[in-house]
A and B are shown apart, each in its own frame.
Chain A
Amino acid sequence: MAEAAIALRPPLIAGDKSIAQVTHDVCAPMEARPTALWWVALLISSSFLLLGAAAIAYQISVGVGTWGLNRTVGWAFDITNFVFWIGIGHAGTLISAILFLFRQRWRTSVNRAAEAMTIFAVMCAGIFPVIHTGRPWFAYWMFPYPNTRGSLWINFRSPLVWDFFAISTYFTVSAMFWFIGMLPDLATIRDRATAKWRRKLAGLMSLGWNGSYRAWQRYEVVYLMLAGLGTPLVISVHTIVSWDFATAVLPGWHATIFPPYFVAGAIFSGMAMVLTLMIIARKLMRLEDYITLRHIDRMCKLVITTSGIVGLSYGTEFFTALYSGSSYEQFVFLNRALGPLFWGYWTMVGCNVFIPQLLWFRRVRAYVPAVFLICILVNVGMWFERFIIIVTSLSRDFIPANWFHYAPTRVEVATLLGSFGLFFTLFLLFCRFIPVIAVAEVKGVLKYGKPQLESAHE
């Protein structure tokens, strides 16, 4: 009977784990010495990080002129990277908050890593609005702080100010959510720790978690509330980011479709990034039993859904342009598809709309290398989406005399690589010091402890 039920609804965690085994499996990589592979990966990613730091230091000391921008194209790599990273950060909150509210219990295997990814991605994103300014040392002026400069205040009509609030709120709530969710696991680390410093540190961080009934009860309430808080943020952040463009007068930016289009795109790219990272992590950290093909399968379904929304948005943009009767608008879209950056546009469409269609096939979803490759391509495509939206609209707008192309400089490319360096460095450190899987939550979805009868009824 039970076997039949398993066949009908396979367990979320494979390998018939016991509770102790789960704890051991997740904590083992942290307690052992880091592998050579980890060191190599850290070396590479921190080198990129250093490269990026050098590029940023050079740019700040010399000027934004070290980027390939010009008087026609005032934003390019900087804001592309910003929107790209904010988008990457989306899956974390989606998995932790929305899927939690929808009782999607499979999320437990991936939510910790996804949330970590969110936080690191938002950190990467946060760099760009600061360094893209001409005078980054005054970037704090975007913050509404009481000052002695008379009536100087911020402009609440500016989407950049909204951005500032949206992102800082998002980062704060995500970080809090992540940390609260980590409390039981930090306590586990504390209890298992052999080194004194680790025990002390984990003890401090776990806020005196004692595993009591009362602690659990409060924990669950807080977690649910934070999930409720986080849910609107998933929608709001990228909606507001999209207003950076949608409120402008520029053809190709000035579009009411942007908020849903951007949110879907963000979830799309975020899911792809989670998949990318999880596929690597489950292999390297031997977590195949926790992150199973079923997890991958479900995330793939989310990817294909959002890919559909994104594809529909691309089509709708063309329709809106046609229907608007505005020749400027129409030109912008023809120019995207057939103009000098056509290769970027078709890379975007290919990677975001056509390639993900392969995920309709169960066999593709079950073949991990294929999923991995598709996810990488989706991320490439989503980077290009932002690039195309920003650069093609700016470079050829209303007055043809202003038209000018854009090409990045070495400094800009190094800065982009540096943001990836930062992201992966942080992620590697995360893998070393924090349980990549929410141990306490995973235990909740084990077969263990559930009455046989109940599972027979399911």
Chain B
Amino acid sequence: MSKKRTKRYWKSLKERDAAPDVLNARADEFPEGGPRQFRRRDFLKATGFTLGVAFATGCSRAPVQRAIPLLSQSEEIVPGRSLFYASTCAGCSAGCGLLAKVRDGRPIKLEGNPQHPVSRGGLCATGQANILGLYDSQRLQHPLKDGKKSSWAEIDHEIQSELANVRRDHGAVRFLSGTITSPTTRAEIREFLAGFPEAHHVVYDPLSNSALLDAHEQTHGVRVLPRFHFDKAEVIVSFDADFLGTWISPVGYTADYRAGRDLDAKRVSYHVQFEPRMSVTGSKADRRLAVAPGEMGLLLTHLAQRVARKVGAPFVSPELEASSVDSVFLEELADRLCRARGRSLILCGTNDLQQQLLSNYLNHILGNYGSTLDIDKPSLQAQGSDKELGELLAELQDGKVKALFVYGANPAFDLPGGDGLAGALRKVPLLVSFAQRVDETAALARYVLPEQHYLESWNDAEPVSGLVSVSQPTIHPLGDARSLVESIATWNGKPKPAYDLVREHWKAEVFPRQKKESNFDAFWDRAVHDGVAEVESLPIKTREFNTQLVRPILKAQRPETGAFALVLYPTVAMLDGRNAYNPWLHELPDPITKVTWDNYASISPTAAQRLGVVDGDVVRLENDGGSPEAFELPVCIQPGQQDQVIAVALGYGSKLSARFAKVGPQWLDAIISVGDKGVVGLNAAPLLRLSDGVLQYDSAQVKVSRTGRQRELASTQTHNTLTVPKKLTPPGSGARSVVQETTLAAYLKDPHAGVEDHEEKEDLWPTDHPYPGPRWGMVIDQNACTGCSSCVIACQVENNIPVVGRDEIRRNREMHWLRIDRYYSEAESGQIEVAYEPLMCQQCENAPCETVCPVLATVHSEDGLNQQVYNRCIGTRYCANNCPYKGRRFNWFNYAHDDQLQNLVLNPDVAVRSRGVMEKCTFCVQRIQEAKIEAKRRGERVSDGAVQTACQQSCPAQAIYFGDLNDPNSQVSKMMANPRRYRVLEELNVRPAVGYLTIVRNCSQEGKEESKEEHHG
């Protein structure tokens, strides 16, 4: 073996003489790696080729897979620092001003614009939540034709050729939209429709105020919505107008209302609310009367008669039926109104012409026009006309409409027609829907044109005549969407970007309406910077008040015995259903009922007793017309509701909510968030009535019967009063002093009234926390708080708070860091009163949570914050158990964060928490740090007001003060020194850094507490 073989054998001579490598090759039948060796030169060649190809392909433009922001740095953008752009909220037609916080090229939060005259710094819950719509992965990314993906070029071509046919045939063209306040858009639509012989624009609001405008047309000769000045009103009487909650422009109204209730200036308006159900506004009223909807007109007549008599106006109403409201009270109210002539305000929120006329008449004889109601500079926030809508629906039924464009409206969902209307819409030869998502109407449309989110495009708005607001894009459009104005301009034959369209319109129409600025560019830049420009309002010709048409309403319409009057109402979160895609808003507890993820049938406790139902029992509502569909809804017992009223929220049951089938943690015992029909809640729009030319929200009668089934409501608060159940009440103890309140009479005598005193305990120990620098603290004015919940959403957006879904809420595991506790109590008069108490981590000085954590995951900071260290937390939950306020939230599961697009909304300054750790309000520590760094850079102390917490910023009522308690001149220190200030559970000596200011109810009695009896709800 070791011996080398040298002898060579061959088979033929050829083989013997051949070259040795050929021989070798022959021996190896299946050579590996080819005949050639890979040499150094080959390597270099291959490398060169590869590099060459790589360079060559790199020259072409590859499709953008991921948008990497700011590859080429913009001048003003510093990574990690936020920029604020003024814009206008398009969440509803109120047109509030906002500041979009843009971080590294993406908007992450919307805040109120303090300089905007409409909203004055606040922003409502829906406005805040709109940002989630921008990052909605189910938003339409491209145009659809017959439900299939198409291109703009193709669609433009087809629509234009079809429109040419319609024009030739003199076919009817209709443009159906919600209220559009944008002057540019309105002008474009006008120009577009002018190109057709038979075309017009129909405006309707699903939450209609048509009768209010119609009434002004009759009394003043112009169809306008007056601008209300709540701040100038000393007496406010509202007939079912939920102006602090959902009516027309709640943010602006709340700011005005708050201004009119200034306790320090001892100027407090007196607010009376007549309403069938408990609304946000009713919950703040000084005197609230539960009245059946059918009686509203009668009451208006009663009041009008009394006021007219007192002011000497002719108003004859013989044979007036007696009302259910105490006539002594009405007399007193009339007196008060007469005393406050020109400084009072009558509001009517019902969509009934006769009632609106009476309300106008009252305002007229009280001399309120021109002072608390402005019709010279009217509001444009609601323009819908139910009459025109009715006509359009009739035309649709007759098949007369040849082309219908639907924008900012969802008639197939929010109108009563149901399947009939859907069929009529299907009959329209050219149905074009401008929509962000495929909603009920878009599903019927031949062409669905994706509309841009308002944070992606240029636009404008004129919510109040003379106030023109700019909307500017804050991000490159995320899909292949196009704004309405661009589409129409294209079809008008003048395709232009929205920026040019808005600018040109401003140059031509808006700029001439002012005289301050002579240069358009400067005017424009100023407007874009401020977000708003004040110009002269368009002249309006009103005529002398026409009392001819004002007629008394002599009788109340009462439901038949055994039947209920049905009231359909919008909720703060869902409004007309436009927000049904938004999980934050579904999870936002209703300000009054605290129920999430459902709509329900609200009934009064008495009615519930009569029907023998409790919360969660499913009842069947049958329309008196015998509606084909039975409405089955769980009951929610609502104290303060009129006994013959059943109230159901609109806006639920939308197709857009079908996506929530899998929201929240999915585990063994998880229950899905949607109902039997695969959507959240039930659409109550089929119960609406369009009759007498108006949409009627409260005219239907229903019969209610039990089904025997149960559907537990996911409520965030189950115990509704401050008194403990009677049999468990220890002898001698009354209501818990968690909420402290007083009356105006008592307050004027002693501002400290109603505040429970607790002696300051002298500490034997040296102070644990000396707070050498600032000490952050907060004061919440409960008297100003309306419970509107915009702070809850602001906190959710700011602090990356996850959505947990209906089942988790049902299990009392919501994650909101800030909650608003709502308590009912019963006044002497039998009136149900409501107290709101926004509660978050109280950042205690003697924090019970800090001592019990075994791993020091919650510690006290030098500036008074109770810090939670997520990385260190192991989740024993001891801190939460030991928190008297229960302000802590535990991550029971890993909450979903797998929607990459939706994750763009996350605030990069705030950690996303994993499962198993505790979390809670941080006083927006990221904002404090930002301000501190900025102050340090400038070598200054953090100035008062430099830190605004998210909740404080968004509050329309400015009920939250925040700042340094160690600075005696800071606003928060002054508020802490306010005699109304108390602390929740002060007796525990945990020394919270959050103070509360008492609720002061404007009523003449003193010492209300003693006579008051708590209600058991």
Which A residues contact B (CB, under 8 angstroms)?
A: 58, 62-66, 68-72, 74-75, 129, 132-136, 138-139, 141-142, 152-155, 157-161, 164, 244, 247-250, 327-328, 330-331, 334-335, 338-339, 394, 396-405, 409-411
Contact = CB atoms under 8 A, between A and B. Distances in A.
Given A160-B852, A330-B730, A398-B738, A66 B668 contact: yes
A152 B872 contact: yes
A394 to B, nearest CB: 6
Given A133-B876, A152-B872, 19 more contacts: A58-B668, A62-B667, A71-B812, A71-B886, A134-B874, A134-B875, A136-B874, A160-B878, A248-B848, A249-B990, A394-B881, A399-B884, A400-B721, A401-B738, A401-B837, A401-B839, A402-B885, A405-B718, A411-B668
B854 A399 contact: no
A250 B886 CA distance: 11
A161 B881 contact: no
B705 interface: no
B728 A64 contact: no
Contacts of B890: 64, 71, 74, 134
Given A58-B668, A71-B812, A403-B719, A133 B851 contact: no
A218 B882 CA distance: 49
Contact size range, B: 35 or more
Interface string B506-540: 00000000000000000000000000000000000
B893 A249 contact: no
Nearest to B734: A327
A78 B892 CA distance: 15
9 contacts: A62-B893, A63-B915, A141-B855, A153-B856, A155-B854, A158-B878, A331-B730, A335-B724, A400-B738
A330 B733 contact: yes
A68 B668 CA distance: 12
A72 B814 CA distance: 11
A72 B668 CA distance: 22
Contacts of A249: 848, 882, 884, 988, 990
A384 to B, nearest CB: 19
Given A134-B916, A158-B852, A411-B668, A69 B823 contact: no
A398 B851 contact: no
Nearest to A409: B669
B258 interface: no
Contact of B851 (A157, A164, A404): A157
A72 B881 CA distance: 7
Nearest to A58: B668
B821 A401 contact: yes
B811 interface: yes
Contact of A155 (B668, B730, B853): B853
Contact of B886 (A72, A141, A161, A335): A72
A71 B880 CA distance: 8
A420 to B, nearest CB: 21
A240 B362 CA distance: 72
B736 interface: yes
Contacts of B882: 248-250
Contacts of B929: none
Interface in B425-458: none
A141 B917 CA distance: 14
Contact of A133 (B730, B823, B874): B874
Q: Which of A248, A330, A402 has the most CB of B within 10 A?
A: A402
Contacts of B892: 63-65, 69
A58 B669 CA distance: 12
B727 interface: yes
Given A134-B915, A248-B848, A402 B886 contact: yes
Nearest to A406: B812
Nearest to A66: B667
B813 interface: yes
Given A248-B882, A398-B738, A401-B823, A74 B852 contact: no
B884 A398 contact: yes
A177 to B, nearest CB: 28
B877 interface: yes
Contact of B874 (A66, A139, A161, A411): A139
A142 B881 contact: no
Contact of A135 (B720, B917, B985): B917
A248 B877 contact: no
B853 A331 contact: no
B722 interface: yes
A135 B724 contact: no
A63 B880 contact: no
A327 B733 contact: yes
B917 A331 contact: no
A191 B848 CA distance: 59
B800 interface: no
Contacts of B727: 334, 338
